A and B are shown apart, each in its own frame.
Chain A
Amino acid sequence: MTAAPARHIRARGGLHGALHRSKAFRGYALLSPALVVLFVGVVVPFLILLMMSFWTRQGFDFDTTMTTLNYARAVDEPIFGTFLLRSFWVSGIATVATVLLCYPMAYYVAFHVHRNKMLWIILITLPFWTSYLLRVFAWRVILGYEGVINASLLSMGFIEKPLAFLLYSQTAVIITLAHAWAAFAILPLYVSLEKIDRSLLEAAADLGDGPVRRFLRVTLPLSLPGVIAATFLIFIPTTGDYITPALLGGPDGAMIGNLIQLQFGAVNNWPMGAALSIILTLWIAAIALVFVFLTRRAERVVA
C-alpha cells in the first residue's frame, strides 16, 4: 500500500504534466479568444467582401453570378484610376513631408533631451491619441472659407475676397495629413535613433568626420530602418483615409476612400465599392511587400 500515495501524485501530475508539456498548446488556448475575434471581425468579412466584389448590382439587390465586371470597370473607366493615383500622390507627398519634418524632432529628443525624456515623448505622441476627426476639423477651422486665415487676412485688408484654394484642395489635404500623422512618425524614428550607440558617433568624430559627414555616414544609415518604418506607417493608412479629403478635399482633393464610401452610400453600388476596396487592399499589400523588402535590406546594412 505504500506505493499508493506516490501513484496518486503521478496520476494527477500526469494530467497536469501533459498540459505543462505542450506549452505551445496552452499558448494557442490563451490566444484563441483574440484569434476568434479577429477571425469573425477581419477574415470572414474580408472574404465576403472579396466575394461581393465579383457580384453586380441589380436594382436594390445583388446579382450573385460571379463576374469580373467591376474590376473591368475599375480598369476601363478613368475616374477610378485617377482617384487611386491621386490618393497615392497626395498621401505620398504628405508622407515624405511628415517624415522629413519629424526626423529632426525625433533626433532632438533622442540625442539632446537628457531630462524628462518621457515627458517629451508623451507630449509629442499625445495629439495622436485624441480624436482624429477633431484634429482634421481644427484645420477646417483654420483653412476654411470663413476660417481663421481667410477671415484674418480679410479683416486686415490684405485680400479682397477669401482665398478659395486654402480649403477644398489637395494642398489642404496634404497639410492636414502631415499634421495629423506626425506623432505616428516620431515614434519609429525616435526608437531607431535612440538605439544608435553613442560611441559609434564618437568613433566617427575621432576618425575625422565633422558633424555633417558624421550624420550622413553614421546616423542616417543606422536610422534607416526607422525612416522606412515611419514612411510605411503613414503612407498606408493615409492612402485610404476618408475623413480628411471628405472635410477638406473638395472635388479636387477627394481620394479613393471617398469613392469607396460613395459606392456604399449615395451611389449604392456595393459590389463596385467592394471591388474598389479589394483593389486598394491589393495595392497596399504590394506596397507593404516593397517596404518589407526595403526593411530587410536596410537591416542587413545596419547589422
Chain B
Amino acid sequence: MRSGSYITRPNRTLQIYACVFLVVLYVPVLFIPLFSFNDSIYVRFPLQGFTTNWYVDLMGRDAVWDAMWNSVRVGVCVAVISTVLGVLTARAITRNRIPGQNAVVAFVMLPLVIPGIIFGVALLVLLSRLGIPLSLYTVALGHLIVCMPFSVATLLPRFEGMDGSMEEASADLGENGWWTFWRVTFPIVLPGIVASLLLTFIVSFDEFIMAFFLSSTETTLPIYIWSQLRFPREFPSVLALSSIILTVSFVLVFIALWIGRTGLIEKDHPRPPEAPKS
C-alpha cells in the first residue's frame, strides 16, 4: 500500500483539522435531538432534565400523522418514478451513442444546481394558468424534477461500470433485449437501483421549497414543521419531530450510500489489461 510512501505519510495537523471538521459538521445538527429530550421549552444550557414528553405529545397529534403519511406517499411515488426514469436515462446514455447526449445529461442535472425557488415558482405559474388546483400530485411533480438528477447521478456510474460485453454475452447465448435486461442488466445494476430508491425517497421526504410553493392544505412534514416554527410554544415538539426525521434520514442515506458505493469500488468484473481491440 502507499500508506508508507513519502508523499502520503501521516500529517498530524491535517489529521486534527479533519477531526475538527467532522465535529463541526455534525454537532450543530446534534443539538436538535439533544434539546428534544430537554425538560424545558427553552433551548439553553444547562439542560433541565430528561423527558420524552415532547415525543409523547407529538404522537397524539393527527396533523403530524397526516403530514407524515402525505410525505411517505409522495416520497414513495417520486422514488419509484424517478428511479425508473433514471434507469431508462442511464441505460440510454451508456448503451446508445446518442448525438447530443452531453446536453441531455446537463439538462437532467440542471435542477441540482439551479435554485429550487425558480422551479417552484415556474411550476406554480404554469399550474395556475392551466387551472390545475394544488395538491399532493403537484408536490410530487415538483419533487420529481428535483429527484431525477440524484437518480441519474446514482445510476449512471453503475451502468458505466458494467462491462458492455455482459449484455452482448447474453444476446449471444440466445436472450433477446427484454430477457437480457432482467437476467443480466437488472441484477448487476440492482445496488444502484436500491440506492437510487432510498436517496430519492429521502430527498423528496425532506424537500421543502417545491412543497412550499406547490402544496395545498394537505401538507408534507417539512411544511408542517415550517408552520410550527412561528409558535415558540411548539419549539420542543418541532425539535422532537425533527429528531425523528433526522434519524430516519441518516439511517436510510447511510444504507443507500453504502449499497450504492460498495460494488463500484471493489470492481467485480475488471476489464483485461492491455485490451488490443481491432
Q: Do chains A and B touch in the complex (CB under 8 A)?
A: yes
Q: Which residues of A contact B (CB under 8 A)?
A: 23-24, 26-31, 33-35, 37-38, 40-42, 44-46, 48-49, 52, 101, 104-105, 107-109, 111-112, 114, 118, 121-127, 129-135, 137-139, 141-142, 144, 146-148, 150-152, 154-155, 179, 182-183, 198, 201-202, 205, 232-233, 236-237, 239-243, 247, 257, 260-261, 264, 270, 273-274, 277, 280-281, 284
User: Beta-carbon contacts of B97-132 to A below 8 Å, as 1s and 0s?
Assistant: 111010010011011011111110111111001000
Q: Which residues of B contact A (CB under 8 A)?
A: 1-3, 5-8, 10-11, 14-15, 17-18, 21-22, 24-26, 28-29, 31-32, 35, 42-46, 84-86, 88-89, 91-93, 95-99, 101, 104, 107-108, 110-111, 113-119, 121-126, 129, 141-142, 144-145, 148, 152, 199, 202-203, 205-206, 208-209, 212-213, 222, 225-226, 229, 232, 238-239, 242, 245-246, 249-250, 253-254, 256-258, 261-262, 265
Which residues from A are CB-within-8-Å of B18? 104-105, 108-109
B125 with A114: CB separation less than 8 A: no
Taking each of B125, B141, B205, which has the highest tally of chain A beta carbons within 10 Å of its own beta carbon? B125
Taking each of A46, A141, A284, which has the highest tally of chain B beta carbons within 10 Å of its own beta carbon? A141
A130 with B25: CB separation less than 8 A: no
Which residues from B are CB-within-8-Å of A148? 31, 43-45
Which residue on B lies nearest to A118, using beta carbons? B261
A41 with B29: CB separation less than 8 A: no
A-B contact pairs, 18 of them (CB 8 A): A26-B96, A31-B98, A37-B144, A38-B108, A42-B111, A108-B11, A108-B14, A112-B14, A118-B261, A118-B265, A126-B254, A131-B206, A131-B245, A150-B44, A179-B24, A202-B5, A236-B115, A261-B117
Q: Is the interface of A mostly helix, strand, loop or mixed?
A: helix
State in angstroms the CA–CA spacing of A34 and B148 once bound together.
Answer: 8
Which residues from B are CB-within-8-Å of A280? 115, 118
B25 with A152: CB separation less than 8 A: no
A80 to nearest B CB, angstroms? 16
A133 with B88: CB separation less than 8 A: no
B1 with A114: CB separation less than 8 A: yes
Which residues from A are CB-within-8-Å of B46? 155
State in angstroms the CA–CA spacing of A239 and B253 once bound together.
Answer: 26
State in angstroms the CA–CA spacing of A130 and B262 once bound together.
Answer: 21
A42 touching B110 in the complex, CB below 8 Å, given contacts A112-B15, A129-B199, A134-B246? yes
Q: Is the interface of B mostly helix, strand, loop or mixed?
A: helix
A27 with B7: CB separation less than 8 A: no
- Residue of A118, A134, A155, A237 near B32 (CB, 8 A) is A134
Which residues from A are CB-within-8-Å of B14? 104, 107-108, 112
State in angstroms the CA–CA spacing of A270 and B89 once bound together.
Answer: 35
Which residue on A lies nearest to B257, using beta carbons? A122
Which residues from B are CB-within-8-Å of A137? 32, 225, 229, 238, 242
- Residue of B123, B206, B229 near A132 (CB, 8 A) is B206
In order of increasing CB-CB distance, the 5 nearest A-B pairs are A240-B115, A151-B44, A27-B96, A30-B92, A45-B122
Which residue on A lies nearest to B87, using beta carbons? A30
Which residues from B are CB-within-8-Å of A42? 110-111, 119, 122, 145
B29 with A127: CB separation less than 8 A: yes
A30 with B96: CB separation less than 8 A: yes
A130 touching B250 in the complex, CB below 8 Å, given contacts A38-B148, A118-B265? yes
A45 with B45: CB separation less than 8 A: no
B8 with A111: CB separation less than 8 A: yes
State in angstroms the CA–CA spacing of A125 and B213 once bound together.
Answer: 27
State in angstroms the CA–CA spacing of A101 and B45 once bound together.
Answer: 29
A274 with B125: CB separation less than 8 A: yes
B25 with A141: CB separation less than 8 A: no
